[in-house]
Each structure stands twice: as structure tokens, then as C-alpha cells.
Structure 1
Amino acid sequence: MKKITILIAGLLFFGFTSKAQNDTVSAWTTSGDVSLMLSQTSFTNWAAGGENNITLNGFINLYAKYEKNKSKWENMLVLVYGQTKTGTREFRKSEDKIDFSSSYGIKAADKWYYSALFNFKTQFSAGYDYPDDVDSTKVKISDFLAPAYLSIGLGMEYCPNDFLSLYLSPITERFIFVNNQDLANKGAFGVDPAEYDGQGNIIKEGKKAKNEFGAYFRFIFKKNIIKNVDLQTKLELFSDYFDNPQNIDVNWDTMINFTINEWLAANFGLQMIYDDDIPIKDKDGNIGPRTQIMQLLGIGISYKFLK
């Protein structure tokens, strides 16, 4: 598997460097948008009750494509960070995402490409579980590079037009990193946990990395569906050949942008994740893998560019 990873990384590097050395202005297409979204609720002498609330989210979405002759190199970077404050509580993280993808393809047939894909996901800062009891201590459940996901694969990509892409790789290696020893000792995000003796002392630290080998599928749709309304959705599926391949990891991320004028926009986002390696405790105390759902809605300043 390591040889396959090195081969794929080499192909990506060779393709990227060769294109960078021979690029022309006309071969590049770039676009992006930067947004700062705010939502607020405030109460003064409100008989029905309620708590003041403010949420601030920042978004950066960048895209660059080089296409010439039979070669195509695409890059996408999504950065999201947000915080929210309710009542007298401290600011808490509401959103946190770093997602970078790069793919290099060589045309195989009409609308089909042999393609090598690189994807990296992590977050900016620590995340915490806040207990219902305000006097209890918050518990760290994630951190920068804990987790981090690195995927490298070879496959085929179908691109019938500029707004749709289907990618399938039967040869994908995925690395999961947990660069926080306390979380690694707990076996967070599927890594091997620490081993303890009879007195509860650690005799072997938990592993901070895990690799998986399997099949990967990605669907991307990005289009202006009606005037001033842009839809972008990405669905990713991964199956580990050697560890419960029937339990497919799902990551589905959708963003709808409503343009009000040149500088003002509203955003609606929805993300759904299912990972069989991530146990989650429900309100009844039961622990197991579950569908994770996050949604957001905000209005604020937005700037788009296209070249």
C-alpha cells in the first residue's frame, strides 16, 4: 500500500510541476467567494423569555483549474470558521473546517479522464463537549490535526459539463491522524487506544495514526440554478476493503448562496456525516456510530470573483 501511495503522490507532483512550468493565462480558470455571516437575537424586557444570542461565521471558497490539450488540473480549498455566544456563556465554536482537494487528469475518452486525487481535511482549533451542568468542566473532543484525513487515490473521472463531476477510485488509501495524545489514548476517530495495566496506568500509548485502503466515490455539483441563487453540493463515500466494507463512510456537504446585491448575501448550509469509526453518545447514554447533522443560516457581507 505504501508503494501505491508513493506512486500516486509522484504522479500528482509530476503533473502539478509540469503544468506550473508550462502554464498560460488562457489555460487557467479561477473563482472564489469570501463571506462573513452574522446572526443575532436580542431580548429586552421580553415577557416570553429568551437568551441573547450572536453567531459569526467566516467562509472562504477558492477554485482554480488548469486545462490544456488532454490535461486537467483542478484545485479546491474551503475554509470555514464560526463562533457563537448565548447568554452569559463564553464564545463557543460553531463551525470549523479546512478542506483541500487537488486532482490531475489525463483525457481517456470523451468526457472521461484517468485521474489522481489528493484530499486533506482537518480543522483550525480545539472542539469541546459542554456538559449540561454549568459547573462541570468542558471536555476536549477534537483539535487541530485531531482528526486530520489524508486521502490519495487513482481512478476515473466523468465530467459531462462545467458544473458536474463524478469520480470513482477503486484504489484509495486514507490516513487518519489524531495529533493529540490524550485523544489518541481514548481511541478517538478510530485509532488504536492506549493499553492499561490493572491499576489504570498506561503501558502503551494510543496510536496517533491509522490507515485504510478501499474504494472512494465523489459527486460534485456546482451551478447557478436560478438567478442570484448558487448551489454547491459534494457527496463523498468511502469503503474500507479490510474493515467492515459494508459500513460506508458518508460525507455530504451542501451550500446554497442567495445573492442580494454585489456585497450582501445569505447562506444556507447543511452537512451530514456518517463514520462507523466514530462512536457518539445519545441523550440516553447509548454509544455507537450515528448520523451527524450540522446546518447553518446567515446573512452578511460577501465578495465573489471569477477569472
Structure 2
Amino acid sequence: MSRIFLWLAILLTTGFIVKGQDNVVQALKREINRTIKKDNDTTGWNWKRGGLFSFNLAQGSLSNWASGGDNFSLTANGYMNYFILYKYKRHFWDNSIDVNLGYIQSTSLGSRKNDDRLDYLSKYGYKMDSLGKWYVSTLINFRSQFFDGYTFNNNQPTFTSSLLSPAYIILSAGFDYKPDQYLSIFISPLTSRWIVLANKSLSDKGGYGVPAGAGNFNQIGAFITLNYSNTIAKNVTYKGKMDLFSNYQSRPQNVDLFMTNLFSFKINKFFSATYSLDLIYDDDVRLFGPSKNSPGLQTKSLIGIGFLKPLNTKRS
């Protein structure tokens, strides 16, 4: 499975780069026959900020329902993205934060969360070419959650995660390719990744690739992240991110995958349907259960109809 993800990433990345190289060649041909301008390198301060907020709520109830089911269920999910971009001459600074929170209440299962993620990304780049497509860049990424997490076997909760347990911190240097305003491909041959287990009870047990009692663990490897956001059809927008990490120190052929996908289907000015799909493959995470002692693909999908509010984009 890990090799499939690796080859998929290589094919996608190669396709994007080949397409981008063709665009670069065509653009260079156009530049030969026009007067060279330095507008991109002489503009002043340029800040841009904006984002998206959505909230979905679903409720169900049954009474004397012959086929069975929960007498009552309530599900609430919220998503918020906010970004701040800064461009000045050849400098580019990109900051974004994604917050996902979800909660479910039902008569049979009680209350529990069904979504919880905090993801912050800060990336600085210096433009290398006159076309503004290649940047030498550094990247910092922090990913964790807000609340305690549990797995449920026979409806019995087992404490498995918490704030900063685990937390993933990535510090990376490499090259950022931006063929257009929708796509960014960051490639780093040298990346440092820390896995943190701040909770003492979880740290004492170990897991997530962290040795028991250590509290944190560092890995050195290669890192690729692809970010894409665009309106793919009328009233349909897509925002996706895919991270790939290969640990040089242990089983580098087993590539870790973290992928998020969010589709928004606009109904009217304030309401939309949303569908999210998250995929995770971490070679250091052994799935829970009596017979599961190997890594596997983790999937999570959520669908709902609710309130959608674009956060105003501002420039300064």
C-alpha cells in the first residue's frame, strides 16, 4: 500500500512539474518578444487575508420504529480555515490554519467527538525565477487536536489521544513550485519531524512511533506536500492537501500519508452541502484491537448540509 502511495505521489508530482515546465517554456517564448518589466519586484507591501467557516447540524429521532435504531441522535460539525499571505518583491510568506471540530450524541452510544483537528502551516519562500513559479522555501507545520480521544471496543472507551498527544511538528527546507494561484508543490529532501506525546499516561505506554517514556521522538526524512484549492465546477469548490513523508532512519520505502479533501456544494448565499474525506497512513501507528498489530489506512468521511460563510478577503 505504501508503495502505491509513493508511486502515486511520484506520478502526480512528475505530471505537475512536466506541465509546469511546458508552461515555463511557453512563457519564456513570450517574454523574448516583450519589454522586460520589474513590476513584480518593485511592488510595495501586499497583505491578503481571508478564509471560510462552515457549520453543519443534523438531528434524527425514532418512535416505535420497527426496524430499530437510535431514538435520538444529534450531530454537529464545524470547520474553519483562515489564511494570511504576504508578498514583497521576491519574498513570499504564507500562513494558514485549519480547525475541525465534530460532536455526536445518540441514545445508544452517548456523546463523543467525531472530528477534532488543528493544523497550522507557515511557509516562507524567496522567488528564484522571473516567472514567479519556483521558490526556495522553508516550512513549519504543526498538527494536533484539542480534546481527549477514545476508541470504543464493545462500547467501552479506551483513552488514546489528547491535546499535544500526539502532536506532529515538521521543520523543512526545500523548493516550492507554484504553477498557478491554485496549486503549490513543496519538495524537501531534508526534513525533521518531531512526534510529541505530552500526556504522561500515553507517553508511558508509548505509541505513534514514540518509545515508551520518551515523550517525543525525532525523525529525519524526505517530505512532499501538495496544496490545491479551486472552483472545480459551478457552485462546487474543492480544497485539498496531501503530505508524504519518508523516514530515512527506518523503513524509508513505507511512506507516511496525510491527506484531507473538502468539497463544498453551494446551495445559496449562506447554505451549502459539504463532504470531507481524510486519509492517513502512518507506518508507526498500529491500529487498535486484539488482532491488529500492523499499520493500516485510516479513513474518515463526513457529509452534511448547513451554514457556509466566506470570511472576507482583504488586501492591504
Q: Give the TM-score category using the shorter length.
A: 0.7 to 0.9
> 1:285: which partner in 2?
291
- 1:233 maps onto 2:205 in alignment: no
Q: Secondary structure at the match of 2:69?
A: coil
Offset of residue 139 of structure 1: 1.4
Q: Secondary structure at the match of 2:208?
A: helix
1:180 paired residue among 190, 199, 208: 199
- 1:30 maps onto 2:49 in alignment: yes
> 1:267: which partner in 2?
274
Contact 2:44 2:89 (C-alpha < 8 Å) held by counterparts: no
Range 50-59 or range 232-241, more displaced: 50-59
Extract unaligned runs of 5+ from structure 1.
Answer: 1-21, 194-205
Contact 1:281 1:288 (C-alpha < 8 Å) held by counterparts: no
Q: Secondary structure at the match of 2:201?
A: helix
- 1:54 maps onto 2:61 in alignment: no
| Whole-angstrom distance in 1 between the partners of 2:44 and 2:152 | 50
Task: Give the letter aligned to residue 244 of structure 2.
Answer: L
1:70 paired residue among 84, 90, 99: 90
> 2:175: which partner in 1?
156
Task: Give the letter aligned to residue 172 of structure 2.
Answer: G
Contact 2:144 2:166 (C-alpha < 8 Å) held by counterparts: yes
Q: Secondary structure at the match of 2:64?
A: coil
Q: Structure 1 vs Structure 2: percent identity of aligned residues?
A: 35
> 1:40: which partner in 2?
59
The within-5 A match list for 1:1-307 is 24=45, 27-51=46-70, 52-109=72-129, 110=131, 111-132=133-154, 134=155, 136=156, 138-193=157-212, 206-281=213-288, 285-304=291-310, 305-307=312-314
Q: Secondary structure at the match of 2:184?
A: strand
Offset of residue 23 of structure 1: 7.2
Please list the CA deviations of residues 54-74 of structure 1 after superposition, one character each: whole Å capped at 9, or x if unmatched: 110111111111112111110
Task: Give the letter aligned to residue 145 of structure 1.
Answer: L
Extract unaligned runs of 5+ from structure 2.
Answer: 1-42
| Whole-angstrom distance in 2 between the partners of 1:39 and 1:293 | 21
Offset of residue 45 of structure 1: 2.2
Task: Give the letter aligned to residue 212 of structure 1.
Answer: Q
When normalised by structure 1's length, the TM-score is 0.84
Change (3 A) 1:243 1:23: farther
Contact 2:162 2:199 (C-alpha < 8 Å) held by counterparts: yes
Runs of 4+ in 1 over 6 A off after TM superposition: none
Offset of residue 151 of structure 1: 0.4
Offset of residue 85 of structure 1: 1.3
Offset of residue 186 of structure 1: 1.4
| Whole-angstrom distance in 1 between the partners of 2:121 and 2:214 | 26
Range 181-190 or range 245-254, more displaced: 181-190
Offset of residue 88 of structure 1: 4.4
| Whole-angstrom distance in 1 between the partners of 2:204 and 2:291 | 21
Task: Give the letter aligned to residue 126 of structure 1.
Answer: D
Aligned residues: 268
Q: Secondary structure at the match of 1:184?
A: helix
Contact 2:236 2:263 (C-alpha < 8 Å) held by counterparts: yes
